[in-house]
A and B are shown apart, each in its own frame.
Chain A
Amino acid sequence: MSLTFIFFTVLAILAIASAIVTITARNPVISALSLVFHFFMLAGLYLTLNAQFIAAIQILVYAGAIMVLVIFVIMLLNLGDEEKLKEKFNLRKVIAVLLASVLIIQFFLIYLLTRSGKIEIAENTAKLSTVQSIGQVLFSEYLLPFEAIGLLLLAAIIGAIVLAKRKLT
Chain B
Amino acid sequence: MFSELQLGSSLILISFFAITIVIVDALFQKNKTVGFSYALFGFILTAVASAINLYQAPSLIIPLNSENLITKGMIVFGGYSSFFDILFCMGAILTMFASREYLKREYHEYTEFYSLLIFSVSGMMFIGHANNMLMIFVGIELMSIPFYILAGFIRTNFKSIEASLKYFLLGSFATGFLLYGIAMIYGATGSLGFTEISKSIASGINSTTILVIGIGLIIVGLSFKVAAFPFHQWAPDVYHGSPTIVTGFMSTAGKAAAILAFMIIARNLMPEKIVSGKFNFDTHTLQNIIAWISAGTMLVGNITALVQKNVKRMLAYSSVAHAGYLLMGIVANSQLGWQGITFYATAYLFMQIGAFVIVGLIERGEENNLNIEDYAGLSKSHPMLAAMMAMFMLSLAGIPPMAGFFGKYYLFAAAIKSGFTWLTIVAVIATIISMYFYISLIIQMYFKDRTEKELEIKTGLGLISLIICTIGVLLFGVFPSLLLDLTRQCFQLLG
A interface residues with partner B (beta carbon < 8 Å):
107, 110-111, 114-120, 140-145, 147-149, 151-152, 154-156, 158-159, 161-163, 168-169
Contact = CB atoms under 8 A, between A and B. Distances in A.
B209 A155 contact: no
B419 to A, nearest CB: 25
B18 A148 contact: no
A62 B347 CA distance: 44
Contacts of B212: 110, 114
A82 to B, nearest CB: 22
Contacts of B71: 143-144
A158 B142 contact: no
Interface stretch (B148-156, B319-327, B373-381): B148-156
Interface of B is mostly: helix
B74 interface: yes
A169 B22 CA distance: 14
A117 B206 contact: yes
Interface stretch (B133-141, B243-251, B293-301, B440-448): B133-141
A151 B18 CA distance: 8
Interface stretch (B111-119, B350-358, B390-398): B111-119
Contacts of A149: 138
A116 B119 contact: no
Given A119-B187, A119-B207, A152-B142, A145 B119 contact: no
Contacts, number: 105
B209 A158 contact: no
A138 B476 CA distance: 44
Contact of B72 (A141, A148, A168): A141
Contact of B149 (A107, A111, A142, A162): A162
Interface of B: 15, 18-19, 22, 29-30, 70-72, 74-75, 110, 112, 115-116, 119, 122-123, 126, 132, 134-135, 138-139, 141-142, 145-146, 148-149, 152-153, 155, 164, 187, 206-210, 212-213, 216, 278, 280
Q: Chain B CB within 10 Å — which of A147, A155, A163 has the most?
A: A155
Given A110-B212, A143-B72, A151 B278 contact: no
Contacts of A118: 206-207
B133 to A, nearest CB: 10
Nearest to A117: B206
Contacts of A144: 70-72, 74-75, 135
Given A151-B122, A154-B22, A145 B138 contact: yes
A158 B22 contact: yes
A108 to B, nearest CB: 11
